[in-house]
């Protein structure tokens, strides 16, 4: 999913209507790059594929870099007439952001922790105040200083020692999500000599203030596979290997329970979980398996008192249920039901307090927050009235409190952080995202939830927002977004940057298609493996719905998706290109078969439970039938803007590069096709809140230019 700015926000806009489409000023006399053809024969299960652009799979090859640069140059020349508009949009979106913004402080272990931004700076500053918000600020990390001289910067996990004297932090200067761990003495400001490379981003303190656990990655596949123990002040070469996950379909992570009593190793694949626990007071002890892995058994654990609470799909609980087990008897035969399974309610997570259990649920595609007193009396749900909203529990690190902190936003309601008293039911809005510029009023925008009927009769929800006064006459530009994989639910969220489209007459819609978990676990199951095509046909049917209901028309309909959502984009332009005037595919996963056959590529083996293992012929044949790269054909395609990052660790840059090269060679239309490669970034695009706005301005001008909107 594209990074979304929820912090701060946004500005002025010149409202225009798009009742009459003008012509784009894009030049038609600039030759597009042509990638050379070097046929490579790929054979599996007796099936032969010829890949003419396999050679692009080598970022060390100067010819590859030259080709990517040619594509960037072509994009820049073709869009030269929009450069001023891009700058204007950038300033417009930036102008809505409260630059000197800060988070709502939270209290943890005697300190209030705050994340803030300063005017004109791209990166956050992490600070704390001891005991009181009026105390002197102590800056932990100024990411603007850490990022100086770097084209990319990302701060990974930050963890404070129990005695508040040291901080673990990690940094990535490439965008490949390979971090280096370091330790800062918070009393002196000194950076210790301890330095650990190739970690997955975070470290965890034991209760002795000197033992750290961390996870490393395989250098080729980037799979998190090993857990080590490090002693403060020692050479990392002497660190002790605690756990090695040898199953290459599993990844490992390390964390600490909210109770601070246990350190936990989680080893998980798409379908299976396994946890190990260790008393945080005895870091040199042995981790104990909580419940041995059983394929298909998923569970997560939360410690409280003398028990663990377990969210699990045990006993065919497709939508998960909540169980409880003694901390000294943790295998599944000891688990007892607390909340039984319900066919229409998905349990997503829990938050535990001294007097309350808070359950995050999902019903009919909407978030629900359930408050359950441990006394067993007077449980209730937080009331939410909109049908296009998202609500979620936020940072709740304290057991002994009646206050639940949660977040709320909708398509037309800026994000807010709320402190809710679970005893008195009083709520206090601690902060609402500000939209600067003086033009934004939520009542000027209408939000709807409608339902499209899919090819197999399933009802698919669509969340829609547009400016009041727009007529459903088929002439409105509409941007339809979706993801549709990994059980990731795409809830309706507020975006101040989106106002730059809405105020220019665009309608924005989110299709809650299968492959996500929007309507429960079965919604996910029905959009993966051998049912993956439901994801694509759902989106196409949502597209047909908004056309039939005259929200838009094929001349004005645009589609957007990133990563696995880019796979969706690649599939729909092969299957139904006539429905769209333009498509934005961000870091798209489009070469499914070749990637899933290469177990040296990051993430591949861990993805078998999502896409299937093409080493098995049934899955190979099914993947090949929808893989965008393999199904490019001689037909007309929409206008397309494709973006990628040279250092992407999730979807390798060569997938979109090969895809664009093949499209150029065979498509029969004269519509524009752009490949825009960030030569300094990875999967998430540019780092820094303002640099990311520049990338968004590129996408918006692509859409607005196609609509003939010039300002």
Per-residue pLDDT of 585-631, as tens digits, reads: 999 999 999 999 987 766 676 788 899 999 999 999 999 999 999 99
pLDDT over threshold 70, residue 275: yes
Pairing state between β 389-393 and 403-410: antiparallel
pTM for the model = 0.88
Q: Where do runs of H (alpha helix) occur along 457-607?
A: 499-502, 521-525, 533-548, 564-575, 592-597
The structure tokens listed for 87 are 């700058």
255 in active site: no
Least confident of 107-121, 301-315, 638-652: 638-652
CB 249 within 8 A of CB 221: no
> Could you give the CA distance from residue 559 to residue 481 in angstroms, rounded to a whole number?
6
Tally of helices (H runs) and strands (E runs) in the chain: 12, 38
**Interatomic CA distance for residues 96 and 99, integer angstroms:** 9
Q: Which pLDDT does position 72 carry in this prediction?
A: 97
pLDDT of residue 201 exceeding 90, the answer is no
Both tokens assigned to 97? 């952001």
SS3 315: coil
What's the rounded Cα separation, in Å, for the pair 103 and 91?
23
Identify the pLDDT of residue 6: 28
The average confidence (pLDDT) of the chain is 92
Asked if pLDDT for residue 84 goes beyond 70, the answer is yes
Selecting among 127, 495, 563, 687, the annotated active-site residue is 563
Beta bridge partners of 302: 309
Pull the structure tokens for residue 107. Answer: 């209290």
Question: The sheet that has 106-108: what strands, in order across it?
Answer: 106-108, 111-116, 125-130, 138-142
Is the confidence at residue 176, as pLDDT, over 80? no
CA 641 to chain centre: 20
CA–CA separation, 93 and 86 (whole Å) = 10
* Sign of CA pseudo-dihedral 35, 37, 38, 43: positive
Whether 138 has a pLDDT exceeding 60, the answer reads yes
The pLDDT-based confidence of 18 (bands split at 50, 70, 90) is: very low
Q: What does the pLDDT average to over 211-228? A: 89
Longest dimension (CA), the chain: 74
Instruction: Label residue 12 by pLDDT band (50, 70, 90).
Output: very low
563 is catalytic: yes
Query: Which band of pLDDT confidence, cut at 50, 70 and 90, is reported for residue 254?
Result: very high
Separation in Å, CA 691 to CA 232, 423, 430, 540: 36, 44, 28, 33
- At residue 590, the pLDDT reads 96
Cα dihedral 108, 112, 118, 123 in deg (nearest 10): -10
Instruction: Give the position of tokens 């083996």.
Output: 605
Average pLDDT over residues 454-472: 97
Whether the CB-CB separation of 196 and 180 falls below 8 Å is answered with yes
pLDDT value at position 27? 84
- pLDDT tens digits, 100-120: 999 999 999 999 999 999 998
Mean pLDDT for the stretch of residues 351-355: 96
Residue in the block written with tokens 């589609």: 559
Contact (CB, 8 A) for 275 and 303: no
Q: Tell me the two tokens of residue 633.
A: 């054909």
Q: What is the pLDDT of residue 322?
A: 98
pLDDT, residue 686, reads 52
pLDDT of residue 120: 87
Tens of pLDDT along 502-528? 999 999 999 999 999 999 999 999 999
Distance (Å) of CA 210 to CA 130, 164, 183, 205: 22, 12, 11, 7
Q: Answer yes or no: is pLDDT of 45 > 70.
A: yes
> What's residue 545's pLDDT?
98
Residue 278 banded pLDDT, cuts 50, 70, 90: very high
Catalytic residue among 225, 591, 648, 676: 648
d(CA 363, CA 508): 23
Q: Which pLDDT value is given to residue 16?
A: 32
Catalytic residue among 303, 341, 512, 683: 683
Give the containing element (helix H, strand E) for 158: none
> Cβ atoms within 10 A of the Cβ of 376, count?
7
Cα–Cα dist 540/518, whole Å: 18
CA 67, 69, 72, 74 dihedral sign is: negative
Q: What is the mean pLDDT of residues 531-537?
A: 98
Distance (Å, whole) CA 565 – CA 588: 7
Average pLDDT, integer, range 410-426: 96
State yes or no: pLDDT of 40 exceeds 60: yes
Contacts of 646 (CB under 8 A, 6+ apart): 59, 68, 653, 677, 678, 679, 680, 681
Determine the pLDDT at residue 5. Answer: 26
Residue 10 scores a pLDDT above 50 = no
SS (H, E, C) 430-455: EEECCCCCCCCCHHHEEEEEEEEECC
Q: How far is 432 from 9, CA to CA, in rounded Å?
A: 10
Return d(Cα 511, Cα 482) in angstroms, integer. 5
State whether residue 93 is helix, strand or coil: helix
CA angle, residues 523, 274, 592, in degrees to nearest 5: 50
pLDDT at 9 over 50: no
C-alpha atoms less than 13 angstroms from C-alpha of 423 in its C-beta half-sphere: 8
Dihedral over Cα of 477, 667, 39, 74: its sign: negative
Number of neighbouring beta carbons within 10 Å of residue 47: 12
Task: Let me know how long the chain is.
Answer: 711
The per-residue pLDDT for range 658-690, each reduced to its tens digit, is: 999 999 999 999 999 999 998 875 545 455 678
Tell me, yes or no, if 303 is annotated catalytic: no
In this prediction, residue 22 has a pLDDT band, given cuts at 50, 70 and 90, of low
Model confidence at 696: pLDDT above 50? yes
Residue 349, pLDDT above cutoff 50: yes
The position carrying tokens 């100067």 is 62
């Amino acid at each position: 999913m594209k990074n979304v700015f929820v912090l701060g926000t946004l500005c002025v806009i010149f409202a225009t209507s798009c009742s009459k489409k003008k012509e784009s000023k894009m030049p038609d006399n600039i030759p597009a790059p042509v990638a050379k053809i070097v046929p490579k024969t790929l054979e599996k299960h007796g099936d032969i594929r010829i890949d003419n652009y396999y050679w692009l799979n080598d970022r060390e090859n100067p010819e590859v870099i030259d080709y990517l640069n040619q594509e960037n140059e072509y994009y820049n020349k073709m869009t030269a007439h929009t450069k001023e508009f891009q700058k204007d949009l950038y300033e417009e979106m930036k102008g809505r952001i409260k630059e000197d913004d800060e988070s709502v402080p939270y209290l943890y272990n005697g300190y209030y922790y705050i994340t803030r931004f300063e005017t004109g700076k791209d990166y956050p500053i992490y600070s704390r105040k001891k005991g009181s918000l009026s105390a002197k600020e102590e800056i932990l990390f100024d990411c603007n200083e850490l990022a100086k001289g770097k084209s990319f910067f990302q701060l990974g996990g930050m963890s404070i020692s129990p005695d508040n004297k040291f901080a673990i932090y990690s940094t990535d200067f490439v965008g490949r999500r390979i971090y280096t761990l370091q330790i800062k003495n918070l009393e002196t400001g000194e950076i210790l000599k301890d330095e650990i490379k190739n970690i997955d981003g975070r470290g965890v303190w034991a209760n002795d203030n000197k033992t750290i656990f961390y996870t490393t990655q395989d250098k080729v596949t980037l799979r998190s596979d090993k857990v080590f123990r490090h002693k403060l002040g020692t050479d990392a070469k002497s660190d002790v290997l605690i756990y090695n996950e040898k199953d290459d379909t599993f990844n490992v992570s390390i964390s600490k329970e909210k109770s601070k009593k246990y350190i936990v190793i989680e080893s998980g694949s798409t379908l299976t979980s396994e946890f190990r626990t260790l008393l945080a007071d005895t870091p040199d002890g042995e981790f104990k398996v909580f419940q041995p892995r059983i394929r298909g058994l998923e569970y997560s654990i939360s410690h409280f008192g003398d028990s663990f609470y377990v969210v699990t799909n045990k006993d065919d609980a497709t939508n998960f249920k909540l169980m409880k087990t003694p901390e000294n008897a943790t295998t599944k035969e000891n688990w007892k039901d607390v909340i039984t399974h319900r066919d229409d309610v998905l349990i997503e997570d829990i938050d535990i307090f001294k007097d309350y259990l808070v359950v995050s649920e999902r019903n009919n595609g909407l978030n629900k927050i359930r408050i359950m007193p441990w006394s067993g009396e007077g449980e209730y749900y937080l009331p939410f009235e909109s049908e296009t909203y998202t609500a979620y529990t936020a940072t709740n690190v304290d057991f002994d409190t009646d206050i639940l902190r949660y977040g709320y936003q909708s398509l037309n309601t800026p994000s807010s952080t709320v402190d809710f008293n679970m005893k008195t039911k009083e709520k206090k809005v601690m902060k609402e995202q500000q939209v600067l510029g003086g033009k934004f009023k939520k009542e000027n925008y209408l939000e709807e939830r409608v339902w499209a009927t899919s090819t197999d009769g399933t009802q698919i929800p669509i969340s829609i927002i547009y400016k009041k006064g727009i007529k459903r006459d088929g002439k409105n530009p509409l941007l339809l977004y979706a993801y549709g994989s990994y059980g990731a639910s795409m809830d309706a969220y507020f975006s101040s940057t989106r106002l730059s489209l809405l105020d220019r007459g665009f309608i924005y819609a989110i299709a809650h298609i299968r492959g996500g978990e929007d309507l429960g676990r079965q919604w996910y199951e029905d959009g993966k493996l051998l049912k993956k095509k439901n994801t694509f046909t759902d989106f196409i049917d949502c597209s047909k719905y908004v056309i039939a209901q005259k929200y838009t028309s094929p001349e004005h309909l645009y589609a957007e998706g990133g990563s696995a959502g880019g796979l969706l984009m690649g599939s729909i332009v092969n299957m139904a290109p006539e429905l769209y005037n333009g498509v934005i595919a961000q870091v798209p996963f489009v070469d499914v078969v070749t990637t899933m056959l290469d177990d040296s590529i990051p993430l591949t083996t861990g993805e078998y439970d999502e896409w299937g293992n093409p080493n098995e012929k049934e899955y190979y044949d099914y993947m090949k039938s929808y893989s965008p790269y393999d199904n490019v054909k001689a037909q007309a395609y929409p206008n397309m803007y494709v973006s990628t990052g040279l250092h992407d660790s999730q979807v390798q840059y060569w997938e979109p590069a090969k895809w664009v090269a093949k499209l150029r060679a065979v498509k029969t239309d004269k519509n524009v096709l752009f490949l825009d490669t960030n030569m300094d970034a990875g999967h998430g695009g540019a780092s820094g809140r303002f640099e990311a706005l520049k990338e968004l301005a590129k996408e918006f001008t692509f859409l607005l230019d196609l609509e003939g909107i010039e300002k």
